[in-house]
């Protein structure tokens, strides 16, 4: 008799290592105006930012939690450390980074990736950037890639930061946007001048090492007319039994004719609440491409939003979500067509196994003035057992007749015929299943640079480990 597939424990040792922290560096847990002012003191915030943080805290306290989505019952924000003093100031020389932090990023392969395939790297450890560097030829082309705090204090960029910071995602957007506005720390500022085309990507890596802490980095990217950038974001944390929180924010401004590809491989540990907000606004003939792989976290709320504000602007979202034991990953995307002849394409895959729950949630809004616009949404879900759950909740909201909007979705399991075929060719059932799942995920992996596609395939391999026929 054919046995049911069993899935064993997952080896996450590559990501699941940690170093003891000095708790004297932690600010008090919770959220009070005093703690927020202390963060401002630590960061030497300008007056406008001090006021901004306190106003955001007030909005946070007045805003209710959303009535939809995954449960956040296990998250006690009053028990989260919102800021950890850095062990050292930000460095541009890898040799000056403290040993334990250096070893952390070396184990994650960040310096090697920088040497081999990146134009610049930023590495955040807990609350602050510890390393930021950009190749000299890239800097000479006028590209700015630094941490947000440095840019805010640099008179060349201070006004740009002030006029763009949390303008796309205002603190009133939702409760965790307000939280972010109050306690944000770290993150990157990227500015690509007109007509500059960066052929190799920039990468930021975010590592949360401390127990019971939150990470609230802010990424602000501005692309001027006809420029191009590929930005890669990676994140991980060791597993603790105490809940951790990631409430980052990404704001992307894509100018006329510019093109931005934003890739994320998210692999937070499975005690993390990943309540992240990402948004892009795209001007005439500009383009935003999101490539997103969600593998980690205990609970995720992640819906990158593209606002197509100029004629001919376009957006593409390619995503995969893999929910395993103890995970409730609520992911998807939002697209707003706000101008004529805009176009969007959404292609997502989700996989649920070992009691994991994945939810695909999306919205496509085509407004009155978006005449001649086109949108297509495709989502597929794969169930690997009958103790898991997979939900698909798309919304299409159309306010003009002069558009074409299409949507299709499918849900199912791995067919017995496919397993039979592969096992008849000499593969074990576990290998056959892993191969089919990798193939299912190829929409994302083929959009990533080779080394990241390999990392993603390894993650799928880890998740599928222990499957026996």
Partner 1 sequence: MEKTRLNILPVPTFSSLGVNYAEREMQQYETEAIRITESQEAPVRVDVTDSSAFEINASEGRALFVIQYIKSDSKLSVDTSIAASAGARVKLVQVFERLPEAVSKLKVTLADSASFELVQLVIGGGDNVIEDAVILDGARGAFTAELADSLAGSDRLDLNLIAEHRGRKTTSEIHLGTVLSGTASKIFKGTIDFKNGASGAKGSEQEEALLLGNCVRNRTVPVILCSEEDVEGSHGATVGRLDEKHIFYLRSRGICEEKIYELMARSKLMRAVSKIEDEPTKARIYKALGWGDDNE
- Interface contacts to partner 1, rule CB under 8 A: 66-68, 334, 359, 361, 363, 368, 371, 381, 383-386, 388-413
- Residue with smaller CB distance to partner 1, 107 or 402: 402
Nearer to partner 1, 14 or 371 (CB): 371
Q: How far apart are CA 328 and CA 170, in angstroms?
A: 26
Q: How many of the other CB atoms lie within 10 Å of CB of 391?
A: 14
- Least distance in Å: CB of 292 to partner 1? 18
CB atoms within 10 A of CB 66: 12
- Which of 84/370 has CB closer to partner 1? 370
Yes or no: say if 294 and 321 are a contact pair by the CB < 8 Å rule. Answer: yes
Comparing CB distances to partner 1, the nearer of 91 and 350 is 350
Q: How far is the CB of 453 from partner 1 (least distance, A)?
A: 28
Would you say 21 or 385 has its CB closer to partner 1? Answer: 385
Q: DSSP per residue over 8-52, as a string?
A: -----TTT-------GGGBPPBS--HHHHHHHHHHHT--HHHHHH
Shortest distance, position 361 Cβ to partner 1, whole Å:
6
CB of 253 to partner 1, least distance (A): 22
Instruction: Report the nearest approach of partner 1 to the CB of residue 336 (Å).
Output: 11
Q: Which two tokens stand for residue 243?
A: 């809940």
Could you give the C-alpha distances from 367 to 286, 297, 339, 354, 393, in angstroms and in order? 18, 34, 8, 41, 20
Residue written as token pair 């705090």? 149
How near is the Cβ of 2 to partner 1 at its closest, in Å?
Answer: 13
- CA–CA dist 323, 141 (Å, integer): 42
Which lies closer to partner 1 via its Cβ, residue 135 or residue 353? 353
| Minimum gap (Å) between residue 63 Cβ and partner 1 | 12
Shortest Cβ 366–partner 1 spacing (Å) = 8
- 39 half-sphere exposure, CB direction, 13 A CA radius: 30
Q: Answer yes or no: are the C-beta atoms of 469 and 6 closer than 8 Å.
A: no
Instruction: Name the nearest CA neighbour of 210 among 350, 104, 345, 338.
Output: 104
Per-residue burial over 443-464, b = 16 or more CB atoms within 10 Å of its CB, e = otherwise? bbbebbbeebbebbbebbebbb
Which CB sits closer to partner 1, 4 or 425? Answer: 4
Taking the least distance from each CB to partner 1, the nearer of 118 and 249 is 249
Closest CA to 269 of 72, 45, 12, 466: 12
Q: Which residues contact 426 (CB under 8 A, 6 or more apart)?
A: none
Count of CB atoms situated within 10 Å of the CB of 379: 21
Residue number, 48 or 420, with CB nearest to partner 1:
420
CB of 431 to partner 1, least distance (A): 20
**Alpha-helical runs (H) found in 154-240:** 158-164, 175-183
Question: Measured from the CB of residue 127, what is the shortest distance to partner 1 in angstroms?
Answer: 30
Q: Please say which residue, 53 or 337, places its beta carbon nearer to partner 1.
A: 337
> What does the alpha-carbon distance between residue 460 and residue 463 come to, in Å, rounded to a whole number?
5
């Amino acid at each position: 008799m054919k046995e049911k597939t069993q899935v064993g424990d997952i080896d996450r040792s590559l990501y699941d290592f940690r170093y003891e922290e000095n708790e004297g560096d932690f600010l008090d847990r919770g959220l009070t105006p005093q703690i927020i002012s202390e963060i401002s003191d630590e960061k030497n915030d300008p007056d406008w930012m001090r006021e901004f943080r306190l106003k955001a805290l007030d909005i946070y306290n007045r805003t209710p939690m959303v009535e939809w989505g995954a449960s956040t019952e296990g998250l006690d924000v009053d028990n989260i450390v919102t800021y950890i003093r850095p062990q050292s100031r930000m460095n541009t020389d890898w040799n000056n980074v403290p040993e334990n932090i250096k070893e952390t990023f070396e184990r994650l392969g960040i310096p090697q990736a920088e040497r081999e395939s990146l134009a610049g790297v930023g590495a955040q450890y807990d609350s602050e950037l510890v390393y930021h560097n950009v190749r000299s030829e890239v800097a000479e082309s006028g590209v700015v890639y630094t941490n947000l705090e440095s840019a805010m204090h640099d008179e060349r960029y201070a006004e740009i930061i002030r006029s763009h910071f949390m303008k796309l995602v205002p603190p009133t957007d939702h409760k965790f946007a307000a939280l972010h506005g109050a306690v944000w720390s770290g993150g990157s500022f990227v500015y690509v001048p007109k007509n500059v085309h960066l052929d190799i990507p920039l990468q930021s890596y975010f590592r949360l090492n401390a127990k019971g802490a939150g990470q609230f980095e802010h990424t602000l990217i501005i692309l001027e007319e006809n420029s191009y950038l590929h930005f890669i974001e990676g994140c991980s944390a060791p597993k603790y039994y105490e809940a951790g929180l990631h409430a980052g924010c990404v704001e992307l401004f894509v100018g006329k004719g510019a093109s931005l590809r934003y890739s994320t491989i998210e692999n937070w540990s499975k005690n993390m609440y990943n309540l992240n907000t990402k948004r892009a606004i795209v001007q005439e003939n500009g383009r935003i491409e999101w490539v997103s792989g969600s593998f980690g976290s205990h609970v995720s709320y992640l819906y990158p939003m593209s606002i197509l504000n100029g004629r001919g602007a376009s957006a593409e979202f390619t995503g995969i979500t893999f929910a395993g034991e103890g995970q409730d990953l609520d992911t998807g995307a939002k697209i707003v067509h706000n101008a004529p002849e805009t176009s969007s394409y959404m292609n997502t895959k989700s996989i649920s196994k070992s009691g994991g729950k994945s939810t695909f949630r999306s919205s496509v809004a085509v407004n009155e003035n978006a005449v001649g616009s086109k949108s297509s949404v495709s989502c597929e879900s794969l169930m690997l057992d009958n103790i898991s759950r997979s939900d698909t909740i798309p919304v299409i909201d159309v306010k003009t007749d002069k558009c074409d909007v299409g949507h299709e979705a499918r849900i199912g399991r791995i067919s017995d015929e496919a397993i039979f075929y592969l096992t008849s060719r000499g593969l074990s059932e576990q290998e056959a299943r892993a191969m089919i799942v990798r193939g299912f995920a190829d929409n994302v992996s083929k959009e990533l640079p080779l080394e990241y596609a390999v990392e993603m395939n390894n993650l799928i391999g880890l998740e599928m480990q222990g499957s026996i026929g």
